[in-house]
Every structure is written in C-alpha cells, then in structure tokens.
Amino acid sequence: MPAVLETGLEFIETDNQNDLPCVKGFNIINGMLTVANDEKTFQSINPANTDDCLGEFPLSTKEDINNAILAARNAFTKWSNTPAPTRGQIIGNMGRLLMDYKDVLVRLQAREIGKTIKECGGEIQEAIDTCLFFQSEGRRLYGQTVNSELPNKELFTYRRPLGVCGIINSCNFPSAVPFWKMIPAIMCGNTCVWKSPQDAPLLSFALARIMHQAGLPNGVINLVHGKGSGAGQYLIDAVDEGKINKISFTGSTEVGKNIGEVCGRNLVSCSLELGGKNPLVVMPSADMENAVQGAYWAGFGTAGQRCTSLGNLILHEDIYDEFMEKFMQKVKSTLIGDSSKYEGMLYGPMLSEKYANDFLEAIKICEIDGAKKIYGNGRIDSKNKPDGFHGDPDKGIFMWPHVYENVTENMNCFHEELFGPAVTVVKAKDFDHALHLANASPYGLSSAIYTNDRMEAYLFKSGIRSGMTSINNSTSGAEAHLPFGGVKNSGNGTRESGIWVIEAYSYWHAVNDELSGKLQLAQMDVDEIEMSEMEVDWAQLS
C-alpha cells in the first residue's frame, strides 16, 4: 500500500474474507487525525461484495463539526493572504501526486463504490485535470483597473474569498466532484470543511492525505465523516449559527431545496448541483448506430447512477421501431459484474443498499403509471440473473437494466428521476414535439440530440432549457474546463468547473483610491462638457 494511504491508518480485526485490509479511518481536523467525540463509528462496505469491509470511520458529532469549522476559521486569515500563485502551486502539487497514486486510487474507488475500473480511471483523471487547470488560474485571479470620471483618482476591482466553505458531495463521483468544489474554493483563498460521502469515506481520507502531502497548510481543508442526517445536517445548522460563509452541495433536489432555504434566510451563498431527468432525442437523420451506442451508455453506464444519466429517451416515430430493435439487442447483452475481477463489464453494483432500495421503489412508479416494461427484473440474485451477469450475485448489490416504453408526458415516471439502470422511452411525432417533450420535465441538467440536420441541431440547442447539451453525443460526460450545472429543479444557477466557478467562491471588491487630497464626489463634482455652438452649413457639404 502506498505511503500516502498507509500513513495514519490502523488495521482492525474483522470477519473480512478478503486479502485486502479493513482499516481504521479518522477525521482530519487542523491536520490532526481524530476520532468522533463520542467514539462512535460506521463501516464502509464494498457494494460488489458486502462481506468486504474497507474501513471503520468516525460518526462525527456536532462538536466534531464545530471543531472543524473553528480550525477552518483560524486558518482563513493566513491562507487568504497567501499569494494566489503560491496557492496555485500547491494545487499543482496535488495534481502531480494524484498522477503518482492514480492506479491505487482507481482500485480503491472501484472497490469502495463499485464503479468500473475504466470509469474510476476517468474520474481520477478529472480530479487531476482540475488541479492542473486551476494551478495556472492562481496567476490569473484578475481584477480590473477602471478609469475614474474624476481627476487624480484610481478605481480598482479585486476578487476576495468568501470565508469558510461547507462542502457536501454525493458518493457517485467521490473524487471528481469534491475537487470541482474545493480546488477553486482554496484557489480563491477560502478554507473548507468537507463532509465526505457516507459510502466513500476511505477514498475521501486518501484524497485529503494527498492534499496535505502536497503542502496544504493545516486547517485549510478539514475532513469529517458521517451520515447526511448527522454530520451533514450539523454543517447546514452552522449556517444558521453564523459559522459558515458558503455551502456547496451535490445531491438530491429535495435536500438541495432545504439547504437553499437555510442559506437564503441567512444571505449565505450556496452552490446547488441537483438531480436530472435528462432527455435524449433521436431524429430520422441521425446515424443510428451512433445514437444507439450513445443512448445505451447514457442510460446504463455507472448503473444509471449519474445525475446526467439518460432519463427520457425521445424517439421520432419514423425510426422508433428500428431504433428500439437495435437498442434492445444491446440492453439484453449487457455485461454486469465486478470489473476488478471481470473484463468488459458495462456496470457494477449499486452504490449501496440504500441506493438499491430507493431505485426499486422508484421503478414502481413506472408500473403504477401503466408504462410497459419490456426488460428488467429488479435485483439480481442467483435465481434471477440476466445472461450477461458475471460473478456471485448474492454477494453484491446488482440490478437488471430496465426499459419502459409507452411512456407519455402525463405520467409521473416521465418527470421523476429514477437514479438507477432504467430508461423511459417516449415517442415524438416531429421535431417540435420532441423539443417540447425534452423541455417538459421539471429538471434541466443535461440534454442531447442525435441528428445530422444542422437546422434541427441549431433549433434544439437554442430551444432546450438545460445547463448542458450534447449534439450527436451522450447526455453524460464533462470536461474540467467547461461549466457544469443545470436550471429549473437541477440547480440554482451556479456552476462547477472551468473559470466560471470562480464566481461561486469569491466576491467582487470595488476600491476607489483618492489621490487629489480633497473630497470629490462621483456624479456631483464631474465637470460638465459644453457642446460647441457653431452651426454647420449642411448645404455646402452636399
């Protein structure tokens, strides 16, 4: 095990049947490894093999959260006064360390949350890309010099940090998303209290250790573990107590709205990246094979556990039958299993028992609405498994891929996010109807259209109400230098990633520097410029 994971970890005795160790993990508060104030713990379990315990972690109390906030507040003054290029250099060091430890982090993430090795590799790379992008932004944290309307006076604008940021991210992207949040936050001079996802505490612990190994001063990022109803809620309560200056949250719309209410009544900034019911439209001019591949990946990659996963597959009636025949061939051949043991798996387990139970409840909506299930049979077990399943299904938390057709706009399943391997299929009469259907859900995160008609592509990207749109590509996928986020019930308008995220972690400070030695008042002491009274003889000019 690499030193960055070994340092500060203790191994504990368990009934673990695996060769890999179960470790004792800690909070990291002001650079110190700490247990919960009342010493209570919870376990991190491999969802591909529930006999495999990765570690035992602190179930943080309110006192633990307050200690982490105090550490962040104490570190703020020195960190915010550290030159931005120096902060950027530390962030660059993080990126290089992530490169060094990429292979072990990929395996750790795959083991802890069940995503495929390939997907985990892409996600760790996203964290690396984020670090390398923001390293240079430390030299471009620009303000402006503005001309004054008065003589002997200079005007400036500066970006200033907000203060202490509470960071809460979900477990489906446990490395990319916290880096999307914390890297720009600390680059702007903020300090953070990071509440790790309950289902990915060991990976979070490893990432936090890497951050400190990169040269991050103690107290700048403080890691606390626990449940959303415990540690997460204590962090939100701290907004009401005047201890937190910013909340950044990725998760469900319901929880996001509650966080927004708390932040709103306290005039505290919040970034909310929430759910989606992402539409993918296929038109007759589309490359059919490409569209099938894109829809298949969007619907079932990561077992459908992305906020950008395909929700409503909207097919033009002229190509409906042809598309569905090809699409269902791929669905029925889906390879499912633990990718650390078997090659070529499209997806692995659900993230945890909770996500599995929530998904099974959600797909009941489709059946209640009268949608026609053409494939899928709930949870996979030894007596109920598709041909493409690999491994022992009774050891893990695996789901069939599900497809529902005959879905219409008046059904609840058209509007509700299912968050799992399920796609609802909708038939469109023409382009205008398809665009209407794409806009009809209460969400607006991601969207896609497959068409080779350039006017249709133009009208779709102009008419869709979503934060992100792909043309001839999947609904899922993001790059580190593009803004990520949605509209409507998918977020509050803030963005992750790229230069745009700097707006979410800083405020503009306007400064006027009076050099004249006297009081000069804008708008009142400005000399008026009189226009010339000379008249022009327009006739001579014609």
Place of tokens 């919870």: 42
Identify whether 307 is a catalytic site residue: yes
Residues 6+ apart with CB under 8 A from 440: 409, 414, 415
Q: Which of 112, 123, 126, 273 is catalytic?
A: 273
Place of tokens 């068409």: 451
d(CA 509, CA 460): 39
Cβ contact 357:322 at 8 Å = no
> Up-side HSE of residue 279: CA atoms within 13 Å toward CB?
31
d(CA 158, CA 8): 40
d(CA 528, CA 524): 10
209 CB neighbour count, 10 Å cutoff: 22
Which residues, listed in sequence order, are joined to residue 510 by a DSSP beta bridge?
A: 157
Residue 376 in tokens: 């899928």
Cβ contact 295:280 at 8 Å = yes
Q: Which helix (H) or strand (E) holds 272?
A: strand 269-273
| Coil vs helix vs strand at 273 | strand
In this structure, what are the phi and psi dihedrals at residue 258, rounded to the nearest 5 degrees? -65, -40
Angle at 178 between CA 352 and CA 445, to 5 degrees: 80
Identify whether 273 is a catalytic site residue: yes
Residue 496 in tokens: 């992750």
Phi-psi region of 155 (alpha: psi -120 to 50; beta: other; left: phi over 0): beta
Count of positions (residues) in the chain? 542
Buried b vs exposed e over 56-81: b needs ≥16 C-beta within 10 Å? bbbbbbeebbbbbbbbbbebbeebbe
> Up-side HSE of residue 298: CA atoms within 13 Å toward CB?
33
Residue 81 in tokens: 């006064």
Q: Which of 53, 188, 270, 307 is catalytic?
A: 307
Cβ contact 178:124 at 8 Å = no
Q: Which of 25, 29, 23 is nearest to 58 (CA)?
A: 25
Q: What are the DSSP calls for 207-221, one per residue?
A: HHHHHHHTTPPTTSE
Residue positions annotated with a catalytic role: 273, 307
